[in-house]
Structure 1
Amino acid sequence: MKFKLFGKTIEIKNGTSQLPPVQNDDEWAAYLAGRGYSISANTALKVAAVLRCVDVVAKTMASLPLELFREMKQGREKATTHPLYRILHRLPNRHTTAYEFWHMYVANVLLTTGGFAKILRDRRGFVAGLLNIPTVNASAIQTNQINGERYIYVTTDIGTTEVLRDGEFMYTPGMRFSSDTDPEDPMTIAADVLGLTRDLNSYAQSAFEEGANPGGFVEHPGALSEDAYNRFKADFEKNYMGALNAHKWLFLEEGARANPYSRDLEKSQALESRKFAVTEICRIFGVPPHKVFDLDRATFSNIEQQNIEFVQESIAPMAVRLEQTIYKDLLTEKEQGTYFAKFNVNGLLRGDIAARTAFYHSGRQDGWLNANDIRRLEDMNDISEEDGGDVYCVNGNYIPLSSVPQNLPKGAKQ
């Protein structure tokens, strides 16, 4: 078996690896930075903060309305008659809802080198459906050296291998840094933080589950006989074990001394380290700490602003990535001049009722919102055209500057 480390090929023979010589200190630093941690997406999800971060981003994206639009001479309109509209907005395939599809797709984008989906087409070549491909089942993007066509190998659930070529798969790559073709694995980048978190979780578990927190120990100046030891043990279990006998001191014989045993998890900073690890994980995924229920520094005055920042800095960039993936992989060159997909994040940016009322009032007064624009933002039915629902109005006190001289009182200086 062969794999790459530091850009070098390592071959494993008979259970041992043949490691090429390290050429410089930077390579050793890269190796030592990992400190031996090996983190996969499945392993990372066992850390509660990772599971919550991935889930909150993925389910937020999955719950947003995703619609296909058609460019018009004036504005745009929903392309509800296009076959792709229903696939993106409602049902990617007959077994999977849009929520389920995008939740899994985004989770793979966050935890792996990118997201994959198989494109199903009808006899005419139009997109007829989408199927999620777990990234772990897909190879890296391969390129045909003769014609430049891209393709991937996909391992199916029954163990067979399928080849998908350009036009047969949708692909959203992760962050690229050291290669213009191969994205970085986020779990490799975050190995230190996630590995430390796992170790701290294991430490806490052993401390509380494996009895690694004794109340004290007994020093005896010499060796106890077997009878003396058994008598002492029976007396101890009878009189000092259990919650009702907690914190009692022992009565000892033959010069033995009892010493209190202290090991405070707080003093060893294990709990503080776990809190810090949660904050670091939130930084990796761009999720505010209060979204993972870390409320140490959350206040009523700043949570709303943090929610807006979460949309602006995490959800909106992910929406753009997916919109451009749809444009690239699901639309023909001809359609790309007319159609585009768009996630509606407006609902996430709405403030409380007072803030929305002030926003709508300003837009209505200044003429850039009409009654139906406002009602649609609030998921209300339109007012009919006869009742003026689509009419744009301005405040009657507004007049053009050019009309000011004619409207001045008689005798006033201009």
Structure 2
Amino acid sequence: MSLNGAFVDMFSPSVKRSATSDGSYLGGFGGFFSLGNGGTTKINYKTSLTISAVYNAVEQISNDIAKIPFSVNQKVNNNRISQPNHPAQLLVAVAPNSLMTTFIFRKTMAVSLLLRGNALAKINYDVKGNPVSTDFINWDKVRDIRIKNGELLYDVQGFSQSLLASEVLHWKNFSHDGIVGVGAITYGAQQLGLAIETQTYSATNFANKGVRQGVLETDKIISEGKPQIVAGVKQAFSEKDPTRVAVLDEGLKWKSITITPQEMEIIATQRFSVEEIARFFNIAPHKIKSLQQSTNNNIEQQSLDHVSDTIQPLITNIEQEYAKKLFTSKELSSGYYVRGNIDALLRADMKTRAEAICRYVLSGIISRQEGRQKEDMNDGPDMLNEFLTPVNTFTESQIEQNLKDRKNGK
């Protein structure tokens, strides 16, 4: 089904769906997924980064995704066993390719995901069919994504043959069809265009030191030399020297046309633009350095919300794409999965982390040895493998045993 058909179906429920599954998912709409206009300013994923709030939002989210440790694990019954020797472990935890660390690779992918709505990487295999590396592909090089004979194909510049869906990692953001993502820049183009125009207007007003427009007044009638007078004043005010001085002859007086309240309101919309950008990227305003609505009491809760509402969905998306593309069907049915340890984002709060581990240990949920492992500490004595039981709580079997011991005089 073509993308055009997808939009028709979405907004016109009465239209009959096409019976064929062949067609393009980009077609003539490739630009729709990465470009947009706002006012007189052309907006795309590159120009949007000139807005500090957009740059910081992308930087914050991509860093959070990049610094989360990923690992290959297997669920066996109720146990989860680490699989460090699996070939995919090298790609998700150590080095995805010879040019990048896992941090740089995931950050680069995340930047593309946030700005373009899509992030693509080619999976390379050895002769045994094991994944050995993943190479980032710039989304600009994707010419088409289509279905042919039931196969999803990626036509990418630089590759002589189309890539199969099984040969690529494709992270998708907001999507209308589940095949191609749509970037926040597309939907935020109008607001971002206003933000850039406001930013440019403010910078121009600042550069002019408040001297923008004005008129020359005099009680005399000037019949000759008006162009020379105007040119002289323009030249004086155009100098970059902050101590610039304009000398007016013949009783001339400069009267500024001051900035209007409406123009001041335009400058004030910069704060509103930051809030709008935060909404488009689903990030708390305080994370992009907007603290108007933040206090010491709510910033901690907002940080937790950032992890659960902004980062967790993206990590789940990445985990599932890794598992789908790096494991065989047999491995998936055997319980293999990729886990991104999101607890890493909370490590900076040492007090909260320590209190949580203590509660787990004292409640018998984890052993003291496992508590040390959570802090990347070496194993201690074997006695730390024993689980603690609170003295003021008993299981049903312990209560039953105590009653028997009492009857027996113990």
Deviation at 1:120, TM superposition (A): 0.4
Deviation at 1:192, TM superposition (A): 1.0
Match of 1:188 in 2: 186
> What is the letter of the counterpart of residue 384 of structure 2?
G
Deviation at 1:56, TM superposition (A): 1.0
Query: Runs of 5+ in structure 1 lacking a partner?
Result: 9-31, 410-414
Aligned ranges for residues 112-261 of structure 1 at < 5 Å? 112-144=116-148, 146=149, 148-156=150-158, 162-177=161-176, 179=177, 181-209=179-207, 213-214=211-212, 217-220=215-218, 222-226=221-225, 253=251, 258-261=254-257
Which one of the candidate residues 384, 387, 393 is aligned to 1:392? Answer: 387
Which one of the candidate residues 301, 307, 315 is aligned to 2:297? Answer: 301
Deviation at 1:296, TM superposition (A): 2.5
CA contact (8 A) 2:217 2:253 kept: yes
CA contact (8 A) 2:62 2:110 kept: yes
Q: Name the SS for the 2:85 alignment partner.
A: coil
Match of 1:22 in 2: none
Q: Name the SS for the 1:68 alignment partner.
A: strand
CA contact (8 A) 2:153 2:165 kept: yes
Q: Name the SS for the 1:294 alignment partner.
A: coil
CA contact (8 A) 1:70 1:78 kept: yes
Q: 1:127 to 1:231 in 2, by over 3 A?
A: closer
CA deviation vs aligned residue, 1:129-176 (integer Å, no higher than 9, x gap)? 1000111111342111x3x111111113xxx65521232212122322
> Separation in 1 of the partners of 2:213 and 2:230?
20
- Give the structure with the larger helix fraction: 2
> Separation in 1 of the partners of 2:141 and 2:166?
19
Match of 1:61 in 2: 65
Aligned ranges for residues 317-356 of structure 1 at < 5 Å? 317-337=313-333, 338-350=335-347, 352-356=349-353
Which range moved further: 114-123 or 356-365? Answer: 356-365
Q: State the TM-score, normalized to the length of structure 1.
A: 0.78
> What is the letter of the counterpart of residue 392 of structure 1?
F
Q: 1:383 to 1:172 in 2, by over 3 A?
A: same
> What is the letter of the counterpart of residue 133 of structure 2?
G
> Separation in 1 of the partners of 2:243 and 2:135?
59
Deviation at 1:105, TM superposition (A): 0.8
Q: 1:252 to 1:290 in 2, by over 3 A?
A: farther
Deviation at 1:350, TM superposition (A): 4.9
Matched, 1:358 2:362: no
Q: Name the SS for the 1:379 alignment partner.
A: coil
Matched, 1:275 2:260: no
Match of 2:286 in 1: 290
> Separation in 2 of the partners of 1:168 and 1:55?
28
> Separation in 1 of the partners of 2:236 and 2:133?
67
> What is the letter of the counterpart of residue 312 of structure 2?
A
CA contact (8 A) 1:115 1:173 kept: yes
Q: 1:353 to 1:203 in 2, by over 3 A?
A: same
CA contact (8 A) 2:236 2:244 kept: no
Among all aligned residue pairs of Structure 1 and Structure 2, give the percentage whose two residues are the same amino acid: 22
Q: For CA contacts below 8 A with separation 6 or more, give which structure has more relative contact order.
A: 2
CA contact (8 A) 1:66 1:88 kept: yes
Matched, 1:374 2:371: yes
Deviation at 1:352, TM superposition (A): 3.7
> Separation in 2 of the partners of 1:205 and 1:232?
24
Deviation at 1:34, TM superposition (A): 6.0
Which range moved further: 357-366 or 270-279? Answer: 357-366
CA deviation vs aligned residue, 1:60-99 (integer Å, no higher than 9, x gap)? 1111101110222341111101111011101001221111
CA deviation vs aligned residue, 1:249-297 (integer Å, no higher than 9, x gap)? 97863xx565353216896213321111111111111111222222223
Q: Name the SS for the 2:388 alignment partner.
A: coil
Which one of the candidate residues 78, 84, 91 is aligned to 2:82? Answer: 78
Deviation at 1:48, TM superposition (A): 1.6
Q: Name the SS for the 2:95 alignment partner.
A: coil
Q: Name the SS for the 2:206 alignment partner.
A: helix
CA contact (8 A) 1:140 1:182 kept: no
> Separation in 1 of the partners of 2:114 and 2:356?
34
> What is the letter of the counterpart of residue 60 of structure 1?
D
CA contact (8 A) 1:350 1:356 kept: yes
CA contact (8 A) 2:362 2:388 kept: yes
> Separation in 2 of the partners of 1:86 and 1:204?
49
CA deviation vs aligned residue, 1:32-76 (integer Å, no higher than 9, x gap)? 996566422122222221111111111111111011102223411
Q: State the TM-score, normalized to the length of structure 2.
A: 0.79
Question: In the comparison of the two structures, how many residue pairs are matched?
Answer: 370
Q: Name the SS for the 2:166 alignment partner.
A: coil
CA contact (8 A) 1:308 1:348 kept: no
CA deviation vs aligned residue, 1:303-322 (integer Å, no higher than 9, x gap)? 22111111001111100000
